[in-house]
């Protein structure tokens, strides 16, 4: 599916988190249906409707995994569903919106592939135990999608992995399960708005921290806050990797950014203890994530605020890879 369209990703994200709280739709059942909940049918990745694809005949691909775009909803019989139904048009609308938004903001010049998957709903992230119970289904879908992409879409090209929030969790999981021949073609992995923990690092030799703007085969990770008290523990606690996405430094050297959202002049500094990006100078009323958000936490801005920095960095690392290989 190839679409030419543009939208404000920031406005979309803000609308999204309000809308998903009230999302009520049908949920398809299958043989795994239980009285407690229903599980949507698995996406079949040979079906082109389970992908957003924009093939620009470029030398490098972006494989992007979307963030949490779904809230709890009910089947026609009133049974709750805690996963996105990738066959349901009313739910797919939210998933598709982020896919095309990121393609528009970051990925011109690259081939772009983004799979629909049975992501966990926002309510899942109110509890570590709920995440542990539910996230394997979502990650399993992404693993299957990535395997299909490598076999049928990639054709041996270098690729960038990127994901935001729940999608960033999936990026970490993909790198943890990656073999060496695949990793050799990975330009970089962008873990946006999530963390890389000790337990992740011990499971793979391929989760390597980025040290500058052009190193290859590395993982880029950051989380943005007003100060440390604004951090959301589930999202950023225990993080081992961080880099400033404006000056691409891993020390406390401050960077200046004119916000493409508010046009404020911001100062961004990496706190080398908490590994959080501190933002000074952001004046708009902060949009707070439903259910898990905190005032002064800028999780919803992790792509839109740094869009120009990320876009340039995708290109810089891709060109560095092509030159080297």
Q: What is the pLDDT of residues 284-309, one digit of tens each?
A: 877 788 889 999 999 999 999 999 99
CA angle 233/238/243 to nearest 5° reads 100
Res. 201 pLDDT band, cuts 50 70 90: very high
Q: What is the mean pLDDT of residues 75-98?
A: 94
Instruction: With a cut of 50, say whether residue 13 has pLDDT above it.
Output: no
* % of the chain residues with pLDDT over 90: 84
Cβ proximity of 84 and 95 under 8 Å: yes
Distance CA 82, CA 120 (A): 6
- Give residue 32's Cα distance to chain centre: 28
pLDDT at residue 223 in the model: 98
Residue predicted with more confidence, 7 or 81: 81
Count the residues in the chain: 325
pLDDT at residue 252 in the model: 98
Angle between helices 166-176 and 128-148 (to 10 degrees): 60
Predicted TM-score (pTM) of the model is 0.90
C-alpha distances in Å from residue 279, one per residue of 63, 96, 118: 29, 30, 33
Sheet containing strand 186-192, strands side by side: 51-54, 111-115, 61-65, 159-164, 186-192, 218-222
Cβ proximity of 225 and 269 under 8 Å: no
Q: What is the mean pLDDT of residues 164-183?
A: 98
C-alpha distances in Å from residue 219, one per residue of 30, 97, 176, 212, 234: 37, 26, 12, 11, 19
Average pLDDT, the chain: 90
Cβ proximity of 256 and 266 under 8 Å: yes
Q: How confident is the model over 15-71, as pLDDT tens digits?
A: 444 444 434 344 444 434 444 789 999 999 999 999 999 999 999 999 999 999 999
Q: How confident is the model over 120-173, as pLDDT tens digits?
A: 999 999 999 999 999 999 999 999 999 999 999 999 999 999 999 999 999 999
Cβ proximity of 139 and 108 under 8 Å: no
Q: Name every residue whose Cβ is closer than 8 Å to that of residue 119 and which is 6 or more positions away in sequence.
A: 66, 68, 69, 70, 83, 84, 95, 138, 166
Cβ proximity of 66 and 164 under 8 Å: yes
pLDDT at residue 1 in the model: 40
Burial class (CB in 10 A: 0-12, 13-18, 19+), 279: buried
Distance CA 288, CA 92 (A): 24
Cβ proximity of 54 and 103 under 8 Å: yes
Neighbours of 267 (CB within 10 A): 14
Cβ proximity of 65 and 117 under 8 Å: yes
Place of tokens 């011109």: 108
Stretch among 1-10, 58-67, 240-249, 308-317 having the lowest mean pLDDT: 1-10
């Amino acid at each position: 599916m190839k679409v030419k369209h543009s939208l404000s990703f920031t406005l979309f994200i803000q609308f999204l988190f309000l809308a998903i709280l009230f999302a009520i739709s049908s949920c398809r059942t299958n043989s795994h249906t239980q009285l407690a909940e229903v599980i949507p049918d698995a996406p079949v990745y040979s079906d082109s409707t389970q992908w957003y694809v924009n093939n620009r005949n470029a030398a490098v691909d972006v494989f992007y995994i979307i963030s949490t775009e779904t809230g709890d909803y009910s089947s026609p019989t009133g049974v709750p569903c805690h996963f996105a139904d990738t066959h349901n048009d009313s739910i797919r609308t939210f998933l598709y919106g982020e896919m095309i938004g990121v393609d528009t903001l970051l990925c011109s010049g690259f081939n772009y592939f983004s799979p629909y998957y049975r992501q966990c709903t926002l309510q899942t992230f109110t509890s570590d135990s709920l995440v542990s119970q539910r996230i394997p289904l979502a990650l399993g879908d992404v693993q299957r999608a990535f395997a299909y992409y490598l076999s049928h879409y990639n054709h041996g090209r270098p690729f960038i992995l990127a994901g935001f929030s729940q999608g960033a969790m999936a990026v970490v999981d993909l790198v943890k399960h990656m073999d060496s021949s695949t990793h050799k073609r990975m330009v970089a992995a962008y873990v946006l708005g999530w963390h890389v923990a000790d337990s992740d690092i011990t499971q793979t030799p391929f989760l390597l921290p980025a040290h500058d703007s052009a190193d290859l085969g590395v993982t880029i990770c950051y989380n943005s806050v007003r100060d440390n008290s604004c951090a959301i523990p589930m999202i950023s606690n225990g993080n081992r990797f961080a880099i400033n996405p404006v000056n691409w430094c891993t020390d406390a050297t401050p960077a200046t950014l004119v916000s493409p959202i508010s046009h404020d002049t911001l100062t961004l500094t990496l706190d080398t203890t908490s590994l959080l990006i501190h933002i000074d100078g952001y004046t708009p009323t902060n949009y707070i994530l439903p259910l898990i958000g905190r005032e002064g936490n800028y999780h919803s801005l992790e792509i839109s605020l740094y869009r120009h920095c990320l876009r340039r960095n995708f290109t810089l690392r891709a060109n560095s890879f092509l030159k080297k290989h």
